[in-house]
Amino acid sequence: MHEVYLYGSILTTDSYILQGDFPAPNAYAEVIEHHKHIGGETGIACAILSEYGVSVKADGYHLGTVTAKPIFDYFEKRSVDLSSMRVRDDFEGLYDNVFIDRKNNTRNCFGQFGTLVRKMNNPYNMPIEDDIRNAKCAGLDPFNSDAALLGAKYAVKHGVPYAVIDCAYDSYLANNCAVAAISDEFLSNEYPSAGADDLMREYMKRGDGLFIFTFGAHTVIYGRKGVIKRTEPYRIKALSTLGAGDSFKAGTIYGLYKGMDDDELVRFACATAGVACMGYPLPENLPTLEKVRALMETRK
């Protein structure tokens, strides 16, 4: 029996550390490290939650000829149940390539999450109702909108609190969630002319959950039921920010699972992301509860 249900992207990633800047058009760049590892918002969250001792049932994108074996191999000895996922032999599976520029603390991701999904007519499962009903809490990626909406409706139907990321303030996902972590990238793209506090009020006006806005290394804004608060991310020396948002998401789900209050949950999620950024590649250097609590202890 699983404790947490996660739906979304579990895939493989090829990540490359560049020697210098990300190249200009038609220029050359030197790669000094190359790693193949698991990836995806849900894949990283599964790994971290299992490291925290939580049993997880996961579902989402179909796996293929390239992605299935490394994903199953990685999770084989972890408390992650992938039995609901579909494995296909007619495509490679979804994967991405990420180029990391440590000099400028940037990364560029290349994938097929738009074209392949359209071409293959939705290569992902729909959530299974019993998988959600039997969980203590859930985490949902919004990117496959029909599947995410169904998962949220199952969660509401069975009283299972869920965490979500990057969803609009007038969406069913946001209006019914227990926790929503919204990135600066999403806010900037969806609401380019709106202020953060005004946007927070729009989210809070429509839902009773905890809403969190993240801005990378800058101030985190969070609120519930009309009250807006702020906190600072932990100051760390980052080896890579690849997976930082995914790790923050994992921290919010763990906080929801453990029944943390809002302040503690936000601090814990910030610390999870902070520890994640200090290791590379992340799936081989996962945050532990001991490291997260040690980072939290640096700020009383």
Average pLDDT score over residue span 259-281: 97
Show me where the domains of the chain are located: 4-296
Angle, CA of 259, 264 and 266, to the nearest 5°: 105
| Cα 253 to Cα 247: distance, rounded to the nearest angstrom | 10
Question: Quick one: average pLDDT of 123-145?
Answer: 96
Q: Which CATH class is domain 4-296?
A: alpha beta
pLDDT in tens, 215-239: 999 999 999 999 999 999 999 988 8
Residue 246 has pLDDT above 80, yes or no: yes
**What mean pLDDT value characterizes the chain?**
96
Encode pLDDT of 185-218 as tens digits. Answer: 999 999 999 999 999 999 999 999 999 999 999 9
Mean pLDDT of 167-183: 98
**Token duo for residue 180:** 């929503």
pLDDT at 283 over 90: yes
For the chain, report the end-to-end CA distance as a whole number of angstroms: 37
The pLDDT value recorded for residue 300 is: 65
Q: What is the pLDDT of residue 119?
A: 83
Write out pLDDT tens, residues 54-85: 999 999 999 999 999 999 999 999 999 999 99
Summarize pLDDT for 142-151 with one digit per residue, the tens. Answer: 999 999 999 9
* Side chain identity at residue 231, one-letter code: T
Q: Which residue did the predictor score with more confidence, 153 or 119?
A: 153
Q: How far apart are CA 267 and CA 300, in angstroms?
A: 11
The pLDDT assigned to 238 comes to 87
- pLDDT of residue 299 exceeding 70: yes
